[in-house]
Structure 1
């Protein structure tokens, strides 16, 4: 049967059969409540059974403490150790004290100071009227302010909603409206774009009486800068309100957060083109990234350059959360620039550098590489695109990096499903995404849900403690993604080898990855369809030597139109995030479709290959 659990026994079985239930993530099939989103505990699986409860009776699942050891981690159950992300922050402040926590330009904070800043931000959230379960959004690049406001909101019992920094105003407004966020932290200007102005244009009209009439649920907008427009607030003024909140009230709020309460909603687009919010709990986050930290070998004193955006599950959780767990120093970088990466790695003695293959390839090929001291680098985690064998070999041989790992995950599974192990051969790291993490089962499924024979491709199904509680306020989408017995249908196609390593072979959902960013054709097609001269359009991913993949649009002009490829690309750059913008446009008389009217994208891909 093409179905496996974690092969190495690391942490298998947790603390016993059904252990996930005590953290609120494994109550069993059918145990979920409606995804109402009104307050904390109500945001759970809509009839999906909080995936994880089904694991105990299936192949390879542990059934007690004796089912497997935990390597060097005395307590792999991060959810039980810390209880909540708020508990993790304060524990890190106590344990690591004067160890450097964050370096952001000239700003340097130790763990004690970071804990104080987070508590101050949490106090300000209480002063602003934030209640447990309220959604609080952050639309900003990787900075110390992002870390503080996000962790402060979560410590006040709020549910974090990170917004993609590549979004345009309308895209951000959609997620804010869909999540009904009450509070937004937003950067002033980033990459030459005024986020405040962009959002005001997108949500200027509507029935609301708050700072943005088009978003009636949004009560406050806090600009992470010294200046803010009328009806918005500055970060400094917002924090000042927290001075009147007693420390006891802040700590009581943090201590009252249940481990099974939602900690964040990560919005991810799908084949319908409409972003959906994957609801993840404190327990799931803590448990997953305690395991991730151990498998990766992250340790106290590491210096971690976080280039992966904080709005991604990986940047936030394998970055900020993992560093808090292990006492590593966070060095956030707001955009990928290879010159800046080289300078930071050398100046800050960076030892940990996760990122897409594009980042590492650019580093290796940089003409000034040998002029920088990169000798502190010891751990690289990559993935999210094709990883050439030569890249893995060069990282090990030329930069003497001891550990190079790849992994596979998705927002709906807390960002992690499989991971290579330290010591895996270069071929395994390059050609596969590693083995299932502890307490996770994989199934290579046929269309009817049964397991495929070994060595054959099928849809990747996942079951375990990390599967989302559901899509926020979308029970139909939740039911379509998670089976009644707790299996998550990923929409990706893969094969398991004899050792349980997963190889991704295709994507049912047609998603492609542009320099580490997930791009969804249906969403891009919807946006392109808004152009007045586009009658019909289909988008596919095509190979790109620098970014891995980029979008190619096949467009049908409206009668009489003289629209050119350059015109449509230029329009796209104004209307959508840059990674969504098609790099190629080909105009066609019509799109190939099957009898039911569905576009035959396989034909478009083969047409492009043959050309």
Structure 2
């Protein structure tokens, strides 16, 4: 094996050299299933990069991608890197106003958006919004041909000249390991999403460590239900496959039936996802109808994992290795992980030990601190927040409280930042509170996470109302649906007269429930 490259264009060239005829992507979400070898994927990536060069994208420019999992996503992501540009993934659950804010703040000059899919047409939303003005918009045809004004259809965008491909190859060769690879936005306690600046070396160090820990190889086939816009789908999905020659099998809309069908048909060996994913598979009455014996590796986490679930994945599904892990966007998603030889209790009740290249320790207050190869450059246009998060010694202050056992296994016990996890997605109450506070008649809002059997946690909003004002639950929820992604929506609203507060006036959320 050649040494691990530290830029994704170099990794793309290496994959083409090592596994030219092996299958890189299987996308069965089409009338005519798409199968690309590593050579064919490399050709598509170069054409996308050449298309970017043709529309004037320069090294360091930003390209936003707003689309569900399909073979187009790795082409767009890797093609963006190949052209020396910076990837800006957009959460598919965002409203157009949320997506527009991130596109504007990141300075993206190109937006790649999907057409109609599962009842949602992101391309139409972008085309009808001011964000399309002065930007190149590329449309991905999912359920129907692209039919939006002032956009470039995917196939047309990839119809490039040989000269443009030569220029793209020159761009790829010029990419350095300390160039930015992506800006992923993650909410903060102030309620304003922060753009996390990751370099190629940060991203690939984490992806390589994750794949090595899972013992991935070019014989593996990876079912991808984790969304590509998230670190779990992108940096623990697409990029490990690129580094180790693993076949990618994207799935845009999860269902246990479709997941089991793909595992059976494609002999899937690697299947990461949130705990609820595996619960639905285990409990599906049709499970005996499918051969799932090819599965060898399951990686889960993002919430509390019952020990019995780990045991059932191993016993009922026959999975040899089940791993849990802990990370943040600020570390490309990688801080600690369990190992293949850990027992079920360790896997279920801890986040494992530091990845190779990372260090973990606790502050005097018990806050989890992380340092090493995966820690971000900083936050986009926010040096103050960067300095507050990464100290002078390079330790990233995660905002989570935890414990370390004598083997170095980390257990997260609390969150300094009030963040809760709903369906595998981080939700920051301050962001939700900022939105709900704009409802006419509302004077103050406090949001907390409460347990939910299906989602892990969901939001509950406590609201105070101005004297003589009339505000209903429907008023609050209707406004929230217009301005917040679905996973951020509070599932219940409770009106209160006053909030419990400490002597300094801060709301005591622990007394709300």
* Interval of TM-score (by shorter of Structure 1 and Structure 2): over 0.9
2:370 maps to 1:420: no
Q: After TM superposition, give the deviation of residue 230 of structure 1 in Å.
A: 2.4
The change in CA–CA distance for 1:219 and 1:199 in structure 2 (over 3 A counts) is closer
Compare the two structures and name the one with the higher strand fraction: 2
Taking the aligned partners of 2:114 and 2:135, their CA distance within structure 1 comes to 17
Taking the aligned partners of 2:52 and 2:128, their CA distance within structure 1 comes to 26
What is the match of residue 471 of structure 1? 379
1:231 corresponds to which of 150, 153, 159: 150
What is the match of residue 452 of structure 1? none
Structure 2 gaps of 5+ residues are none
Q: Is 1:126–1:245's contact at 8 Å kept on the other side of the alignment?
A: no
Q: After TM superposition, give the deviation of residue 572 of structure 1 in Å.
A: 2.3
What is the match of residue 12 of structure 2? 89
2:195 corresponds to which of 277, 283, 291: 277
What is the match of residue 87 of structure 2? 160
What is the match of residue 250 of structure 1? 168
Q: Which is further off, 321-330 or 186-195?
A: 186-195
What is the match of residue 102 of structure 1? 25
Q: After TM superposition, give the deviation of residue 200 of structure 1 in Å.
A: 4.8
1:135 corresponds to which of 51, 62, 74: 62
Q: After TM superposition, give the deviation of residue 325 of structure 1 in Å.
A: 1.3
Taking the aligned partners of 1:199 and 1:120, their CA distance within structure 2 comes to 23
What is the match of residue 405 of structure 1? 323
Q: Which is further off, 591-600 or 521-530?
A: 591-600
SS in 2 for 1:82: coil
RMSD: 1.6
SS in 1 for 2:467: coil
- TM-superposition CA deviations, 1:464-485 (whole Å, max 9, x none): 1111001111111111110011
The change in CA–CA distance for 1:520 and 1:202 in structure 2 (over 3 A counts) is farther
Q: After TM superposition, give the deviation of residue 410 of structure 1 in Å.
A: 0.4
Alignment of 1:95-244 (within 5 A): 95-105=18-28, 106-200=33-127, 202-203=129-130, 211-212=132-133, 219-225=135-141, 226-240=145-159, 242-243=160-161
Taking the aligned partners of 1:312 and 1:603, their CA distance within structure 2 comes to 33
Q: After TM superposition, give the deviation of residue 540 of structure 1 in Å.
A: 0.4
Taking the aligned partners of 1:391 and 1:194, their CA distance within structure 2 comes to 36
Structure 1 gaps of 5+ residues are 1-73, 205-210, 213-217, 448-457
Q: Is 2:325–2:352's contact at 8 Å kept on the other side of the alignment?
A: yes
What is the match of residue 516 of structure 1? 424
Taking the aligned partners of 1:98 and 1:372, their CA distance within structure 2 comes to 29
SS in 2 for 1:422: coil
2:488 corresponds to which of 560, 580, 585: 580
2:392 corresponds to which of 469, 476, 484: 484
SS in 1 for 2:161: helix
Taking the aligned partners of 2:499 and 2:27, their CA distance within structure 1 comes to 49
Q: After TM superposition, give the deviation of residue 201 of structure 1 in Å.
A: 5.3
Taking the aligned partners of 1:398 and 1:153, their CA distance within structure 2 comes to 42
Please give the TM-score of this superposition, normalised by the length of structure 1: 0.80
Taking the aligned partners of 2:250 and 2:168, their CA distance within structure 1 comes to 27
2:507 maps to 1:507: no
Q: After TM superposition, give the deviation of residue 560 of structure 1 in Å.
A: 3.5
Q: After TM superposition, give the deviation of residue 578 of structure 1 in Å.
A: 0.7
2:470 maps to 1:529: no
Taking the aligned partners of 2:319 and 2:91, their CA distance within structure 1 comes to 31
Taking the aligned partners of 1:293 and 1:161, their CA distance within structure 2 comes to 23
What is the match of residue 460 of structure 1? 368
Moved over 4 A (4+): none
Q: Is 2:449–2:460's contact at 8 Å kept on the other side of the alignment?
A: yes
Q: After TM superposition, give the deviation of residue 251 of structure 1 in Å.
A: 1.4
1:316 corresponds to which of 234, 238, 244: 234
- TM-superposition CA deviations, 1:491-523 (whole Å, max 9, x none): 011100010000000111111111111111011
Taking the aligned partners of 1:592 and 1:138, their CA distance within structure 2 comes to 43
Q: After TM superposition, give the deviation of residue 259 of structure 1 in Å.
A: 1.0
2:428 maps to 1:556: no
SS in 2 for 1:553: strand
SS in 2 for 1:297: coil
Taking the aligned partners of 1:146 and 1:479, their CA distance within structure 2 comes to 33
- TM-superposition CA deviations, 1:437-480 (whole Å, max 9, x none): 11221110025xxxxxxxxxx10011111110011111111111
Taking the aligned partners of 1:445 and 1:191, their CA distance within structure 2 comes to 46
Q: Is 1:169–1:201's contact at 8 Å kept on the other side of the alignment?
A: no
What is the match of residue 299 of structure 2? 381
Q: Is 1:537–1:591's contact at 8 Å kept on the other side of the alignment?
A: no
What is the match of residue 65 of structure 1? none
What is the match of residue 473 of structure 2? 565
- TM-superposition CA deviations, 1:574-603 (whole Å, max 9, x none): 331110011111111122222322211111
What is the match of residue 36 of structure 1? none
Q: After TM superposition, give the deviation of residue 89 of structure 1 in Å.
A: 1.1
- TM-superposition CA deviations, 1:109-158 (whole Å, max 9, x none): 11111111111111111111111111111011111111111111110000
What is the match of residue 495 of structure 1? 403
